[in-house]
């Protein structure tokens, strides 16, 4: 996500693993290309390790500590596995650009492998079977993109293999469960027409070449895992109160100490996928993270970078939900209305649901007024 910064007297110090840009290197802004390893709440210090390679290409062993007046934790999440054995070893997650590259390379490698002499028909059909676990918007969008890849690219380069390729989406409950029933039906029918198989099953264990489920074994050539988000080791180790693995926050996004969850910390905040307010839970979405980031910037700016003792509560404004089913079709649910088909796909391509700065400004003003 694109970082946004507030400008207090003392300056702002984002710590992250992305490449530094010149826009961050201003007098009041500092960017450290480093990984935060731990937070000492009593000393108001973040312990970090640089992630820049040194002259020989190895990672520099440079650790440092940063003191803070106010701390915003926004370190995101990782793919969840629910502790199912074999997921980490054999499945691809859908989180980083490198995940997408690995998936693509594996598909291409399987296309090459299935043509080798001596490959049995069973093995060939396994290699050409792509399985996605998780029928939420991310798993469904990936499925739509994969069908496009097969129809538009593989069919041209490997017509024989493309005709034999099979895509199965495994989901324990309803596919696109957060959408209206009519839209769920539209999405599954549309994907079925493109050749996607749906399997209602709960995965028990993942093996190198097959999934073990409560509905039988499913052999796969490439396995993609998209069952929601879970906490990073950094977040789990923080000496803060946790809710379902995420940093527990109050209505103003203030974190609480692990050993006394009844009290919030006035100067430690958490936003986005790494945080959760149990009284008003929100989905792990970019529009939530962006609105929370803008809200915190505004609260801190209002007090010249110092946390206020009585900030307005964060108000989330849901801008709508969209899911693409591949080129030419999508589902949009926005302002209580639904849209499907090509028009929805055009909307999915063009509507910015993650630009809430104006709406948050308005709502914060309303809260203050
Ligand atoms: C495949 C996919 C598709 C999605 N599609 C949509 C969509 O269409 N619409 C939508 O609203 N949401 C979507 N989401 C969800 C959305 O991307 C997240 O909700 C959003 O990015 C969360 O923002 P964040 O700032 O909390 O975390 P992130 O965007 O994950 O940012 C966290 C950052 O912190 C850095 N970091 C982590 N740990 C440390 C550390 N210890 N030290 C330093 N830096 C650290 C990470 O490198 C990362 O840059 C999608 C997610 C995925 C995976």
Q: Provide the residue ranges of all domains of the chain, joining segments of one domain with +.
A: 15-77+231-301, 79-228, 321-368
The full length of the chain comes to 369
Residues 184-230: tens digit of each pLDDT:
999 999 999 999 999 999 999 999 999 999 999 999 999 999 999 99
Cα(114)–Cα(222) distance, rounded to whole angstroms?
13
At 245 the pLDDT is 93
Cα(5)–Cα(20) distance, rounded to whole angstroms?
14
Same fold across 15-77+231-301 and 79-228 = yes
List, edge to edge, every strand of the sheet that includes 254-257. 71-73, 260-270, 254-257
Tokens of 96: 């980083």
Pocket test for ligand 1, best of 5, 238, 286, 352 (most atoms within 8 A of CB): 286
Q: 294 vs 305, which has greater pLDDT?
A: 294
Ligand 1 midpoint to CA 289 (Å): 8
- Does residue 36 line the site of ligand 1, with CB under 6 A? yes
Ligand 1 midpoint to CA 17 (Å): 12
CATH number, domain 79-228: 3.50.50.100
At 30 the pLDDT is 87
The mean pLDDT of 151-177, rounded to a whole number, is 94
Tokens of 227: 């069952």
The CA-to-CA distance between both ends of the chain, in Å, stands at 31
At 367 the pLDDT is 42
Residue 55, by phi and psi: left (phi above 0), alpha (psi -120 to 50) or beta?
alpha
Least confident interval from 67-71, 93-97, 184-188, 357-361? 357-361
Residue 305 has pLDDT above 80, yes or no: no
- Does residue 17 line the site of ligand 1, with CB under 6 A? yes
Instruction: Determine the atom of ligand 1 nearest the C-alpha atom of 34.
Output: 43
Instruction: Determine the atom of ligand 1 nearest the C-alpha atom of 37.
Output: 41
- Does residue 294 line the site of ligand 1, with CB under 6 A? no
Residue 268 burial (10 A CB sphere; 0-12, 13-18, 19+):
buried
Sign of the C-alpha dihedral computed for residues 129, 135, 136 and 137 taken in this order: positive
Cα(287)–Cα(27) distance, rounded to whole angstroms?
30
Residue 323, by phi and psi: left (phi above 0), alpha (psi -120 to 50) or beta?
beta
Q: Whose alpha carbon is nearest atom 28 of ligand 1? A: 76
- For 366, other C-beta atoms within 10 Å of its C-beta total 10
Enter the pTM of the model: 0.85
List, edge to edge, every strand of the sheet that includes 321-324. 321-324, 330-334, 337-340
At 52 the pLDDT is 82
- For 331, other C-beta atoms within 10 Å of its C-beta total 28
Ligand 1 midpoint to CA 238 (Å): 19
- Does residue 38 line the site of ligand 1, with CB under 6 A? no
Pocket test for ligand 1, best of 14, 17, 80 (most atoms within 8 A of CB): 17
- Domain 15-77+231-301 CATH superfamily: FAD/NAD(P)-binding domain (3.50.50.60)
Q: Find tokens 């509507």 and name the residue.
A: 351
Pocket test for ligand 1, best of 13, 14, 15, 16 (most atoms within 8 A of CB): 16
Q: Find tokens 């693409």 and name the residue.
A: 324
Cα(224)–Cα(142) distance, rounded to whole angstroms?
9
CB 46 within 8 A of CB 65: yes
Q: Whose alpha carbon is nearest atom 15 of ligand 1? A: 285
- pLDDT-derived band at 354 (thresholds 50, 70, 90) equals low
Tokens of 245: 């693995």
Cα(153)–Cα(224) distance, rounded to whole angstroms?
20
Ligand 1 midpoint to CA 61 (Å): 26
Tokens of 177: 């469960």
- Does residue 237 line the site of ligand 1, with CB under 6 A? no
Residue 307 has pLDDT above 90, yes or no: no
Residue 10 burial (10 A CB sphere; 0-12, 13-18, 19+):
middle
CB 212 within 8 A of CB 205: yes
Ligand 1 midpoint to CA 5 (Å): 17
Q: Whose alpha carbon is nearest atom 20 of ligand 1? A: 286
- Does residue 138 line the site of ligand 1, with CB under 6 A? yes
Pocket test for ligand 1, best of 77, 289, 317, 356 (most atoms within 8 A of CB): 289
At 355 the pLDDT is 55
At 362 the pLDDT is 40
At 26 the pLDDT is 60
The mean pLDDT of 160-187, rounded to a whole number, is 95
Ligand 1 midpoint to CA 291 (Å): 14
């Amino acid at each position: 996500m694109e970082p946004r910064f507030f400008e207090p007297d003392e300056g702002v110090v984002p710590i992250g693993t992305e490449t530094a840009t010149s826009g961050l290197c201003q007098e009041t802004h500092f960017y450290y290309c480093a990984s935060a390893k731990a937070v000492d709440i009593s000393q108001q210090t973040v312990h970090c390790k640089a992630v820049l390679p040194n002259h020989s290409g190895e990672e520099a062993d440079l650790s440092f500590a940063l003191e803070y007046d106010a701390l915003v934790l926004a370190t995101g999440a990782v793919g969840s596995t629910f502790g199912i054995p074999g997921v980490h070893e054999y499945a691809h997650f859908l989180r980083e650009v490198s995940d997408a590259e690995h998936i693509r390379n594996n598909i291409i490698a399987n296309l090459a492998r299935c043509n080798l002499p001596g490959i049995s028909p069973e093995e060939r059909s396994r290699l050409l079977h792509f399985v996605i676990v998780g029928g939420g918007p991310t798993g469904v969008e990936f499925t739509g993109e994969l069908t496009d890849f097969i129809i538009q690219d593989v069919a041209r380069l490997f017509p024989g293999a493309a005709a034999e390729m099979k895509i199965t989406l495994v989901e324990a409950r309803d596919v696109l469960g957060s959408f209206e029933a009519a839209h769920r039906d539209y999405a599954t029918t549309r994907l079925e027409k493109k050749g996607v198989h749906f399997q209602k099953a709960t995965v028990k264990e993942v093996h190198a070449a097959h999934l073990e489920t409560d509905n039988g074994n499913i052999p796969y050539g490439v396995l993609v895992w998209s069952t929601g988000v879970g906490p990073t080791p950094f977040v789990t180790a923080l000496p803060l109160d946790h809710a379902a693995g995420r940093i527990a926050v109050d209505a103003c996004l203030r974190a609480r100490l692990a050993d006394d969850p009844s009290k919030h910390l006035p100067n430690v905040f958490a936003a986005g996928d790494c945080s959760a307010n149990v009284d008003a839970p929100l989905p792990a979405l970019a529009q939530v993270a962006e609105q929370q980031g803008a809200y915190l910037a505004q609260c801190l700016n209002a007090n010249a970078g110092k946390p206020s003792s009585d900030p307005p509560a964060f108000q989330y404004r849901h801008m709508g939900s969209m899911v693409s089913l591949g080129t030419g079709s999508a589902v949009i649910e926005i302002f209580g209305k639904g849209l499907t088909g090509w028009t929805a796909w055009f909307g999915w391509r063009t509507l910015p649901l993650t630009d809430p700065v104006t709406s948050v400004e308005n709502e914060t003003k309303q809260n203050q007024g």
